[in-house]
Structure formats: structure tokens, C-alpha cells
Structure 1
Amino acid sequence: MTQLISAVAAFVALATGMAMLHDTTPRPADTSPRGWFRHVLRMAVLVAITASAGVLLLIPRMRGTSLYEVAFHCALAAFMAIQAPCPWWRYVTQGRAAP
């Protein structure tokens, strides 16, 4: 059962990471060096989260077997999904808004 919960959490993290990467702009709003640093760091973290969630989905033995690890994965995936600027579940339930 923990394998299934871990797979669902990895799928949520993967879908949210892909939606957040889709919504990012190539240039930051703040073009100062600090703004560029934060933008590049955010992009690197999003790519790392999306790639690691994909690995967890594709390689089942990489998923956590401990209940605490699964709870940690679920909490991180839920936190990231809540913080998404344009959540993927909005696309699923309502579709893209007309311009």
C-alpha cells in the first residue's frame, strides 16, 4: 500500500513540476543579478523535482518503503501543489481560461 501512495505522490509532484515549468518565463521579472540568481535557482529546483519524481515513477524499487518516507513524499508533493502559481488541477477541472 505504501508503494501505491508513494507512486501517487510522485505523480502529483511530476504533474505539478511540469505545470510550474510550463508557466515560467524565460526572463525574470526582476532583471537585477539577485533576480536572475533566484530565477535560475528556481528553475534548477523545478527541473530537479520533476526529474526525481519521474525516476520514482519509472523505477518502483526507488520508492520509499518506510511509512515515514512515504509521508514525507506526500507532504512535499502536497505542499508543492498548493504553492503552484497555476495548479494543474485547475487545468484538469476547468481547462485553460480564454484570453
Structure 2
Amino acid sequence: MAIGACIDDIHLKARTRGVLLVAVCNDGNKMIYPLAFGFANPECTESWTWFLKKLYKLIQYPDCVLLVSDQHNGIFSVMEVIFLDAAHGICAYHLA
């Protein structure tokens, strides 16, 4: 059984001015639930490396994963290195 996860970031406007890195999935009832999240300052390759390494440890069978993102350079370059056997997809909204 494959797991599909969407990963992205949200820029925080508060005093910290960091980013919230998130990974979300759908459950059996098509409801969205958070799989993992982390705070970083700022969005960069090092932040995504840290986050995706933690996500990799969380997922028991990383070869059965489909990761969907907006293919930001920071996300995509790190995703290819850490999730070698996972399928990678692009968000249809960002593709359009």
C-alpha cells in the first residue's frame, strides 16, 4: 500500500519570520491530516534536509511513498537524495 504525502512550506509573518515546513496525507475518509511539521529559519536546502531526514525516519517503508510538492529547488534537490526509491510528483495547482 502506497502513502501519498504533500510537502510544502508556509512563510510566517510573526516576529520570528521563519517558515513552517509541513507534510500532510489523506486518511481512508479523504480527510487531510498532518504527518509531520517543523519550524525553520529560513527556507533553504539545510532546512529541507533536516525536515526530510526526520520524515524519512518517521515513514517505515519509504519505497512505498509518493511525495508531491511544488518542486521548489530546495525541496526537490533534497527529496531526490533522501527519498531515493520514492516516487516524486508535482502539485497540479503549481503545474498549471
Please say whether Structure 1 and Structure 2 have the same fold, judged by a TM-score greater than 0.5: no
Structure of greater Rg: 1
Higher share of residues assigned helix: 1
Higher share of residues assigned strand: 2
TMscore range, shorter length: under 0.3
Higher normalized contact order (CA 8 Å, seq sep 6+, divided by chain length):
1
Query: What is the TM-score when the length of structure 1 is the normalising length?
Result: 0.26
